[in-house]
Structure 1
Amino acid sequence: MRTQTPPAAKAMRRAAVTAVAAALLAGTATPAMAAKDHDRPELRKAMQAFVDAGFTGVQLRVRDERGEWTGSAGVRKLGQAAKPPTNGSFWVGSNTKTFVSTMVLQLVAEGKVRLDGPVDDYLPEYGLDRRITVRMLLQHTSGLFNYTGDFDPDGSWVPGIPAMNKDWLDNRFKTYQPEELVRLALSKPARFDPGADQQYTNTNYTLAMLLVEKVSGRAYGEQLRQRILRPLGLKDTLPAGNRTELPGPHAHGYYRYEEDGRSKTVDISRQNLSLLSGAGDLISTTKDLATFFSALNAGKLLPPALLTEMRTPNPKMSYGLGMYAENLGSDCGMVYRHNGSPPHGYGALMYSSPDGRTTLTGSVTWVDDATRGPAAAKWPSLVDGLVKQVFCDGQTAG
C-alpha cells in the first residue's frame, strides 16, 4: 500500500555488511536525554494533534542536535487509561521496503546483482518480461500488477488478495506464500510497459525479497539479521512471517464495520502480515527505525554511489530506490522518508535529514473503517505539521 499518505484509501488501493555496531554507528547517534529534562512542548502539541483529530494513540521519537526525545499520547487500548509505550512494537508496513532495498543494493555493491540487469536473470522461474530490471523493482517502474489490488487504465478497480475493508478483516489470519503473491500478480496484465511509468506496487518488493534469497542462498530473515539487524544492534526488529502477535508492550489498532444495522469494533493488533512479504511485513520500534534510518542516510550501510542512487527520485512520485525524497523548502531543505501502514489500524513514520543526524520515527493507531474515517482525512496535514516542527523548527515549508 502506498505509504506516501497512509492511511488514505488511494494509498490502500495502490496499495514494501557486517561490522561491529559501535564502529558502524560512530558519529550517527545523538546523546539520549530523559524526556523530563528535554520536554519539547512543541512536539507534544504536534503529537497531541493526532489524538485530537481522532487517532487513538501516538508514540514518537526525535533525535536531533538537542538530543533524543520520546513521547506518547492517547491510549494504548480502548477503554483503558494507559498511554501507548514510547518504544512499543508495531507493524511498520511499507517501511519494510527500505530495508529490502538496502539488502538488494548491498548485493549490487558486492557484484552479485546488476542494478540494471533483468530480474529474470535471477528469478527465471517466474518468466518475467526481460525488460524489467532490478532498478525498476526498487523504483516501482516495472509495470507489474499490484497483488493487493490495482486499477485498470480505465480507472476500474481490479481486486487482488483480500487486503481491504471487511474482506481483509475476515481473512486477516490467513498465511500467504510470497511465490503465491507473485504468481497472482503475474496472472494479471501489466499496467504499463517496463520503465514507461511509475506506480507503487507491493509486487515489486516481494520479488526483490525473493531475489535476495535466491542470490544469497539464505532466507530473508537470516539475510536481514546478517546485513542490517546485527551490525546495527537492532534487537526489536524482525520479519513477521506468519506470526500474528506483536511482541512486548504495544498499542492496539482497531477496525469498525456495520453488520445487521449495528456497529462493531474489532481489535486488530493481531494480524498476519504474510500478505505483504518483503513489502510490509516487518515488526519494529521507534528506536530501531531511528537507528536504521540514521545509519543508512549517514552512509554506514551502502557505498556513497549507491546511496546516491537510492536517494535520487523519479520525479513522478519523488521515489528513489526504496525511499522518498521530499523538499521542505528553502528554509528547511531535503528530508528522506518512507512511511508505512499495514492494511488497517496502524501507521508508521520514518524520516531523516540527509546526514542522518536528525530523525523522526513514530507509530500511530486508530479505529479504521471502510470509509477511512474523518481522522484519516487529516493525516497528511498532521504529519506535515509534525515534520516541520522537527526539521523546520515549525516553519511553513516554501
Structure 2
Amino acid sequence: MFVRTALVAATAVALSAALLAPAAAAPAAGHRATREAVRTAVAAGVPGVTATVRDPHGTWSTTAGVGDTRTGAPRSASDHYRVGSITKTFVATVLLQLEAEGRLSLDDTVDRWLPGVVRGHGNDGRRVTVRQLLDHTSGIYNYTSDDGFARTYFLKDGFLRHRYDTLTPAELVALAMRHAPDFAPGTDWSYSNTNYVLAGMVIKAVTGHSYAEEITRRVIEPLRLTGTVVPGTRTTLPSPSSRAYSKLADTATGPTYDVTALNPSLASSAGEIISTSADLTRFYQALLRGRLLPAHQLKEMKTTVPVPGDPHSAYGLGLIDRTLSCGVHVWGHDGGIHGSSSTAATTADGRHALAVNFNGDWTGDPGTVLDAEFCGD
C-alpha cells in the first residue's frame, strides 16, 4: 500500500491478438462468490465497489454500492481510480527491462546512480542495491510513516490544508533520511515507499527521462492501456470515475470526507498511477505471460522474500505472491491511497486475473473479493 504500511489491507514488446481483442462476456451464472463478496463489502460500510475479471471465458465485471454518496450515482465498471502501490509493479517492470537491455544491474548500488542521495543518520547508498529497493530489503525508512508527514497528509486538518501541495521525489527521500534505517541492508524485510521513490529516481538517472515517461512508453502504450495514466501533479481523475472517501483519521468512526481531488506527487513513483480494473487485469496478465519481460527478468521478479507476520504472502520485485484460502497462488499487488483501496492479481499462467477497487479507505478488505474469485464458485 502507498499509505503508511504495506499489505495491511490484504492481511491488509509483443501482445497476443487475444489480449487486445474485445472478449466475450463470461456466463451469467459464474462468479457467484465474487458477487457476494462485493455485496458484503458494501453492506459492511464500503461506499462502492468495482471489479473486473479476465479468464478463459472472457471479461466479466460487477459493481455494487455508490460512486457518489451525495447523488446516489452507482459505481461503474469503467471507473478510473487511484491504484496506490500497484504503481510499484509498473516501476519494477521498467527497471527489469533496463536490466535486460544491459543499461543497469539490479546489484548496482543506489549510490552509483544517485550519488549522495541516501546519506545521513546511518543511511548509506553505497551499501544498498537496486534489487534491495525493489524487494523492500533495503532497510530505508518509510517516509509515509513519519509523524509529521502523516499529520500533514493523512489526517483531516493537515490534508484539507495541504491536499494540493506539490512534493518532489528529492523532498520525500530527504524526509526519510532524517530517520535511521530500520535494519542493515539485506538483513530483514520492511515495506517502504521510499524504496520506490528512489527506484523512480534511478529510472530517470539511467534513461534521462522521468519514470512516468518510461512507464508510458514501455508499458502503457504497448499494452494499449487507454485508461491508465501517470498523473504527475494533476489533481483530478479522468472520466468516468467515482468519488473517493476517507475518514482522514486513525479510526473508522466519525465523519466521512470526499478526498477525490489531491496532488498525487505525495505518492510519486510509490503510488501515483490512475487506472481501471480492465487495464489492471490486462497489465498483470501480460506481465505474467512474459510479454513485458524476458524469462530471466520475470524469474527475478518472482524471486521472493518472506513477509514477516504474513505466512500467506511473499514479496518479489514489485510483485506479491499470495497463497489464497484454497491453496491457489496468485501474483499481483495491493494499493491504498486516500479514498481508494485496491488489489489486482493473476494466476502464474496469466489465464485468470481480477482487479477490484473500494472507493473508501477505512473499512473492508479487497482481498476478500480476490479470495472469492479464485476460491469460490
The correspondence of residues 302-313 of structure 1 with structure 2, limited to 5 A, is 302-313=293-304
User: Offset of 1:209 from its aligned partner?
Assistant: 0.4
Query: How far off is 1:39 after superposition?
Result: 6.1
User: What SS does the aligned partner of 1:341 have?
Assistant: strand
1:361 matched to 2:364 = no
Cross-structure match for 1:4: 7
Are the counterparts in 1 of residues 141 and 179 from structure 2 also a CA contact under 8 Å? yes
Q: Partner letter of residue 352 of structure 2? A: T
Question: What's the counterpart of residue 132 of structure 1?
Answer: 128
TM-score for the superposition, normalised by structure 2: 0.88
Deviation string, structure 1 residues 139-179 (Cα, Å, up to 9, x no partner): 111111111125xxxxxxx5446332223343221110111
Instruction: Report the Cα distance in structure 1 between the residues aligned to 2:328 and 2:46, rounded to whole angstroms.
Output: 29
Q: CA shift at 1:5, angstroms?
A: 2.8
In 1, distance between residues paired with 2:20 and 2:375? 20
Matched, 1:120 2:123: no
Letter in 2 for 1:6: A
- 1:107 aligned residue (98, 112, 116): 98
Taking a change above 3 Å as real, the CA distance of residues 340 and 253 of structure 1, as seen in their structure-2 partners, is same
Cα 1:300/1:185, change in 2 over 3 Å: same
Q: Which residue of 2 aligns with 1:341?
A: 336
With over 3 angstroms needed to count, the CA separation of the structure-2 counterparts of 1:159 and 1:314, relative to structure 1, is farther
Q: Deviations over 1:295-317 (max 9, x none)?
A: 00111111112111111210135
- Residues 116 and 125 of structure 2 are in contact (CA less than 8 Å); yes or no, is this contact kept in structure 1? no
Aligned partners of 1:28 and 1:357 also within 8 Å: no
SS at match of 1:383: helix
SS in 1 for 2:175: helix
Alignment deviations for residues 7-53 of structure 1 (CA, whole Å, 9 cap, x no partner): 99xx7xxxxxxx4xxx4234556862347856644332221111011
User: 262-271 or 278-287, which moves further after superposition?
Assistant: 262-271
Q: SS in structure 2 opposite 1:349?
A: strand
Match of 1:236 in 2: 227
Q: Distance in 2 between matches of 1:235 and 1:345?
A: 23
DSSP 3-state at the match of 2:315: coil
Query: Is the 8 Å Cα contact of residues 144 and 203 (structure 1) preserved in structure 2?
Result: yes
| Residues 157-168 of structure 1 mapped to structure 2, 5 A cutoff | 158-160=147-149, 162-166=152-156, 167-168=158-159
- 8 Å CA contact 2:53–2:353 kept in 1: the answer is yes
CA contact (8 A) 2:86 2:335 kept: yes
One-letter amino acid matched to 1:103: V
Distance in 1 (alpha carbons) for counterparts of 2:375 and 2:79: 27
Label 1:327 to 1:40 Cα distance change in 2 as closer, same or farther (>3 A).
Answer: closer
- Paired amino acid for 1:299: G
Instruction: Name the structure 1 match of 2:270.
Output: 279
Change (3 A) 1:30 1:185: same
1:186 Cα deviation from its structure 2 partner: 1.4
Q: Could you tell me whether the CA contact under 8 Å between 2:33 and 2:373 is conserved in 1?
A: no
2:287 to 272, 296, 303: 296
* CA spacing shift, 1:226–1:257, aligned 2, 3 Å: closer
Q: Which residue of 2 aligns with 1:392?
A: 375
Amino acid paired to 2:324: L
The answer as to whether partners of 1:7 and 1:341 remain within 8 angstroms in 2 is no
- Aligned to 1:338, the other structure's residue is in SS state strand
AA matched with 1:387: L
Three-state SS of the structure 2 residue aligned to 1:69 is strand
Tell me, in whole angstroms, the C-alpha distance in 2 between the residues paired with 1:200 and 1:310. Answer: 16
CA shift in 2, pair 1:282/1:117, >3 Å = same
Identity across matched positions, percent: 39
Give the AA of the match of 1:164.
Answer: F
Which residues of structure 1 form unaligned runs of 5+?
A: 12-18, 151-157
Deviation at 1:255, TM superposition (A): 2.9
C-alpha spacing 1:130/1:56, structure 2 compared with 1 (3 Å): same
What residue is the counterpart of 1:32 in the other structure? 23
d(CA) in 2 for partners of 1:7, 1:357? 22
Give ranges in structure 2 of 5+ residues lacking alignment: 119-123, 309-313
Contact 2:26–2:57 (CA under 8 A) maintained in structure 1 = no
Cα distance in structure 2, aligned partners of 1:207 and 1:392: 37
Which residue matches 2:164? 173
Amino acid in the other structure paired with 1:209:
G
- Aligned CA-pair RMSD: 2.4
TM-score normalized with structure 1 length:
0.84
Q: What is residue 311 of structure 2 aligned with on the other side?
A: none
Matched, 1:202 2:193: yes
CA distance in 1, matches of 2:328, 2:256: 42
* Distance across 1 between alignment mates of 2:357 and 2:103: 35
In structure 1, what residue type is equivalent to 2:332? R
Partner Cα separation in structure 2 for residue 6 and residue 112 of structure 1: 36
SS in 2 for 1:335: strand
Letter in 2 for 1:278: S
Q: 1:208 to 1:115 in 2, by over 3 A?
A: same
